[in-house]
Every structure is written in C-alpha cells, then in structure tokens.
Amino acid sequence: MTMPGRADHQRGHGLLLRWLAVFAAPMLLLALFVWCAGWFPPRLTSQRIVDAFEATTTPHPGFRRNHAKGICITGHFDSNGNGASVSRASVFERGSYAVVGRLSRPGGNPQQDDGEALVRSFALLIALPHGEQWRLAMNSTPIFAVRTPQALFEQLQAEALDPHTGQANPAKMQAFLDGHPEARAFLEWVRLHPPSSRFDNAAYFGISSFRTTDAQGVQRFVRWEVVPDSPWRPVEARAQSDPDFLSHALMTQLAKGPLRWHLVLNVAMPGDPIDDSTRQWIDSPQRERVDVGTIVIDRAQAQIDGPCRDITFDPTILPDGIAPSADPLLAARSSTYSVSFNRRTREEAVAGSNGR
C-alpha cells in the first residue's frame, strides 16, 4: 500500500479550502439577508432597556426613566457594630455615617397619582470613611417579578403604550405572564400585601443576594431589609384623594420627629437561591438575622433641587467586604441606571441652555 506523501496532503488541504470558499460566500450572503430581514434579534443592551422603560409612558425630559416620582431625604446611619460578625465592611464599624436617600414609587411618570402605586421604594447612599460608599436600592417587596434582563425587557415591551390608543395592551401582558410563570409569585405577593399608608411605615428589601467577607476571610451570602419603627397600616381610601399623599404624609411625620428603620442582614442557609431575585428565602427560626444598626431620616426635600437629584442609586457600588452575587439583574441595573442618568442630565442641560 502506498502511503500518502506530503504533496498529497497539501493538495487535499487546498481542495478543502477551495470548497469552503465556494460555500462561504453564499452562506455569508444568506446570513446578511436574514440579519437585514430582522430574523436575528438585536443584542440586548442597557440602551434598549432604557428605551423600553421610556415606551411605558409619555416623555418626561429630565426625570428618571423609572421611579420618576420621589422625594429626597437626608439623615444618618447609626451602626451598632454587630455587622462585623458578617462583614469587614467599614459601614459595620460602630459609629454614625451620613446618609442621602430617596423615597419613591415605580413608574416613569412623575405626575402619576400615588394611589395607583402598589410598591414603594427606598434608596440610600451611606457615606463611609476613605471615600467609600454603600448604595442601596430597595423595594417594599422581597422579590422581583423577573429573573433576567431579557425577561425584564420583555415585561417592559408588554407594558409599552400603544401609539394609537395611548394605553397598554392587556393581551401583551397576558402573553408575557403566560411565558413567564415566575412573575406570578410577585403578583401574588402584592395581592396578599396591600401597600402601606405611608413611606415611613413600610419595610423595604434589597431583593438580590450579596456576598460578604468578614475579617477572617469567611464568606457568606446575605439579603438585607430595613424594618420601620412605625407600625404598618394599609392605604385608606380618603388618603388616596390626594395624588401626592405619600410625600405629604412624609413631611407631616418628619415635623413630629426623625423616622427610623432597623437595617437587618439575613444570612443565607443551605438551599437558598443566591442568583434568583424571583424566589423568596424561607422564613425560618434557624436563619441568622443580624440587626446592624438604625437608619435615621430627619429631613426631606423636593427632588427637583434636593441632594438626591444627581445620584444614581447603583446597588453594585459597595464598600470592601460586600460584593454582588451572580444575580444577573445586578449588573443590568447598574448599566441601565447609568444610561438613564446620562439621558436625563443631558436633557436638563439642553433645557437650561434653551432657557438662557
């Protein structure tokens, strides 16, 4: 038997390359045709997510694309030192740290009635030594409706206003829910937990999991919540006659004295999901819960010129000793907050130059 020589191998290799070239050209043309026909969905980006938020309401230049209606708050965080058992973060060293925050309701319309809001939101920036910050973005629900940025984008598409009617299409939302059964847990939680009558008597949850590292290098996963000193009460019908009852009630309560919430770290147990914000951790007497201090709010200001106006409450801005988990929503929130900030500040700059 004659063994193939080097020349035979080179001829075979050259023939293979020629056949690949013959097939590559039409395949490339086919791929370009499919792309131009829109059969390949465009890559999901933070810009497209912000576009989708914008499509859920009429234009409101200069405002946040979500949580557009809110009020600035200031105060301090009294750390009791207990958090050092979980994390080496400087925020858990005993002491008092300045706080700038924002209380708000979801949605992109800053004129929307408070009575339509089923969820309240609480965002904080805690200023720490050596230039560190801890930014927290929390909702009055312990879970989120969707697990991934793609699912969030699809939810926003389902909520988009029809350009002809100015209303959302219920059929689109039903189709979204049919395709995302995990969202039903969120809807059920909201159904069973009526919204609070005020901002200050609601508990707020970080929702996503975060990884902590203590002074010995031991790592844990936690979810945090803030628990109000004020007892929860549901919204009363008479309060809803005021479209801005949440901010008005906040000012009324602050006139009586500071408002307080306890910041609590819930430590993960075996089996707890750490990368899925749609799943609630079980309520167990065995769970370690660490009360790490008290958030004290003593002043509120309008967001139009208040200290929270130019802050993005990016939940991935964390002190050493706290880090994001693998929850895919965290990175998406960070990037979309940045895009929203750039758009609204650019709109403010244009409006300011036109007004001179």
Query: Could you tell me what percent of the chain has a pLDDT over 90?
Result: 83
pLDDT tens string 278-335: 999 999 999 999 999 999 999 999 999 999 999 999 999 999 999 999 999 999 999 9
Question: What pLDDT is recorded for position 35?
Answer: 41
Neighbours of 97 (CB within 10 A): 19
Q: What confidence score (pLDDT) does residue 11 get?
A: 54
Look at the alpha carbons of 177, 178, 180, 184 in this order and tell me if their dihedral is positive or negative.
positive
pLDDT of residue 34: 39
Mean pLDDT of 43-70: 96
Q: What is the pLDDT of residues 186-233, one digit of tens each?
A: 999 999 999 999 999 999 999 999 999 999 999 999 999 999 999 999
Euclidean distance between CA atoms 232 and 120, whole angstroms: 13
Entry pTM = 0.87
Please tell me the predicted confidence (pLDDT) of residue 244.
Answer: 97
pLDDT band at 239 (very low <50, low <70, confident <90, very high): confident
Secondary structure of residue 301 in the 3-state scheme:
strand
* pLDDT at residue 28 is higher than 50: no
pLDDT score, position 327: 97
Selection from 336, 315, 278 nearest residue 145 by Cα:
278
**pLDDT score recorded for residue 149:** 97
pLDDT of residue 237: 82
Chain centroid offset of residue 276 CA: 13
Report whether pLDDT(39) > 60.
no
Task: Report whether CATH 2.40.180.10 matches the domain 46-142+192-355.
Answer: yes
At residue 21 the predicted structure's pLDDT band, cuts being 50, 70 and 90, is: very low
Domain ranges of the chain: 46-142+192-355
Beta-bridge partners for 76: 98, 296
Whole-number Å distance between alpha carbons of 57 and 50: 12
The pLDDT mean for the chain works out to 90
Print burial letters for 149-171: b (CB count within 10 Å at least 16), e (below 16).
bebbbbbbebbbeeeeeeeeeee
Q: What pairs with residue 125 in β-bridges?
A: 100, 135
pLDDT in the model for residue 349: 87
Which one is catalytic: 67, 130, 248, 262? Answer: 67
Q: Buried b / exposed e across 239-252, counting CB within 10 Å, b at 16+?
A: beeeeebbbebbee
CB 292 within 8 A of CB 196: no
Q: Is 67 a catalytic residue?
A: yes
pLDDT-based confidence at 164, cuts 50/70/90? Answer: confident
pLDDT of residue 36: 43
Residue 55 burial (C-beta neighbours within 10 Å; 0-12, 13-18, 19+): middle
The per-residue pLDDT for 31 is 42
From the CB of residue 272, how many other CB atoms can be counted at a distance below 10 Å?
18
pLDDT of residue 14: 53
On whether 204 is known to bind a ligand per the annotation, the reply is no
Report pLDDT digits (tens) over 241-271: 899 999 999 999 999 999 999 999 999 999 9
Tens of pLDDT, residues 77-108? 999 999 999 999 999 999 999 999 999 999 99
pLDDT at 240: 81
Q: Which residues of 276-310 are buried (b: 16+ CB within 10 A; e: fewer)?
A: bbbbbbeeeeeeeebebbbbbbeebeebeebbbbe
